[in-house]
Structure 1
Amino acid sequence: MLVWERPEPPERPAPGPLSREAIVRAAIRLADADGLDAVSLRKVAGALDVGPMRLYGYIDTKEELLDLMVDAVYAGIRADGDGWREVLRSHAEAVRRAVHRHEWLADLIGGRPQLGPNTLAGGDAVLAGLSGIDLDVVVPAVAAVNAYVIGAVRREIGERRAERVSGLDQRQWQAAYGPYLQRTFATGRFPAVASMVRDGPHLTAGETFRLGLEFLLDGIAARISGGGSTPR
């Protein structure tokens, strides 16, 4: 029986009350502070001031705990808006905000089944927002948006982590690597890249995310209009 269906053990008043919700909250606090490496059943038990064995009445493995953590975050991710485009856009932006609040989420989304009740409710809301469109379009469209969001937020978080490791902000990075790029581009070997760097738009991470998402939504809109499906 999966953790979503397994009942919690009866409450024990001593040495302290415990629940899956309390365990998950403690695990999320640890992960927010120090990343997923800081999350183990032993460390979570320590944060709750209980013995590690007490947790096994509620959670069998660390993998179950990670699943519960992801689903707890998805409780705050909801798609809304009028029409399929706004629903997909709001869902994508909500996932991005959640990853920025919980950096560790970037390491878990997309790489494991998401079957918890909050995650399923979020997916149901997205699909409901696309009702009236042929499922042959809806299924790949939702998959494409999810793949875009996962890739984009993982890149953002990867860049944020690299910046922390290097100790260089964007201006310092440019000062460190700019001369090398200038010398390299002066050889004429990479004209397209040189043109992009010199003349292309320099967008923030948020602007890049939203513009790329609009390109994707434009493609979905073209497929919907070309396929004869009628969105709400």
Structure 2
Amino acid sequence: MTVWDRPEPPTRPVPLDRERIVAAAIALADEGGLEAVSLRKVAARLDAGPMRLYGYISTKEELFDLMVDEIHAEILPEEPSGDWREVLRTHGHRTRQATLRHEWLADLLGGRPTLGPNALAVGETTLAALDGLADLDTVQRAVETVGAYITGAIRREIANLRAERATGLSKRDWQRAHGPHLRKMLDTGRFPALSKAVYDGTEVDAEVSFATGLDWVLDAVAARLARP
């Protein structure tokens, strides 16, 4: 039986419910990452005994599932467009924005699908946008491909943000610190393609990079859907 199927226990002296528990867990994760979340710490945040929480949640993994589903409510579009590209594009950008607000989400994206109502609604929206445009297998592969890009791009962006905080070096600071070594290596002539990219390439910010890559993936999906 999943955590969504189990009824909640009756209210006791300190009012508790899964909604309050999940809100407290998300607040802890926003402050200190997933490592800051435990049933003991959540209970302390709610001024309740740790054992009380086990009536609502059996494991920390269940708590993580509930947290992820709660954030999917932020990802779910209010009024899905009728255009499949716009639905998937919106899904990508809303997922990125939600993860920037809750960086810990990056650590939980891309695993087994969560079965909460919000996550299922997001999945329904993305699949329904492509319904009837191709056979079911093609539609599923298309959604998986777009999802893989979204997850990978977001994880890379969050990893860079964490590296900046851990080292105290901004991207520019890091480039200045490592520039001499990189120039020395490129001057050997062994890396002509990298050299051209470094010296002649255009640098864009994370949002532009994400949007461009997402559009390219959607172009590839469109080409596949257009095949007879």
Q: TM-score range by the shorter chain?
A: over 0.9
Summarize deviations over 1:27-55 as a string: whole Å, max 9, x none.
00000000001100000000000000100
Partner residue in 2 for 1:166: 167
Whole-angstrom distance in 2 between the partners of 1:78 and 1:150: 16
Whether the 8 Å CA contact 2:186–2:192 is kept in 1: the answer is yes
Deviation at 1:82, TM superposition (A): 2.9
Aligned position for 1:43: 41
Equivalent residue number for residue 104 of structure 1 = 104
Unaligned runs of 5+ in 1: 228-232
Distance in 2 between residues matched to 1:104 and 1:112, nearest whole Å = 16
CA distance in 2, matches of 1:26, 1:112: 24
Q: What secondary structure, in the 3-state scheme, does the structure 2 residue paired with 1:76 have? A: helix
- Sequence identity of aligned pairs in percent? 58
Aligned equivalent of 2:54:
56
Alignment of 1:176-195 (within 5 A): 176-195=177-196
Aligned partners of 1:157 and 1:74: how far apart in 2? 18
Instruction: Kindly report which structure 2 residues correspond to 1:9-158, keeping only aligned pairs within 5 A, or say none.
Output: 9-12=9-12, 14=13, 16-79=14-77, 80-134=80-134, 135-158=136-159
Does the Cα contact within 8 Å between 2:153 and 2:210 map onto a contact in 1?
A: yes
Misfit runs of 4+, over 6 Å:
none
Q: How many Å separate the matches in 2 of 1:151 and 1:8?
A: 36
Matched, 1:196 2:197: yes
Structure 1 Cα separation of the partners of residues 58 and 137 of structure 2: 39
TM-score scaled by length of structure 2: 0.96
- State the distance in 2 between where 1:221 and 1:112 align: 26
**Separation in 2 of the partners of 1:78 and 1:70?**
12
Aligned-partner Cα distance in 2 for 1:113–1:220? 22
Q: CA RMSD in A?
A: 1.0
The CA deviation at 1:112 is 3.0
Q: Which amino acid aligns with 1:45?
A: A
Alignment of 1:201-216 (within 5 A): 201-216=202-217
Identify unmatched segments of 5+ residues in structure 2: none
Length, aligned pairs only: 225
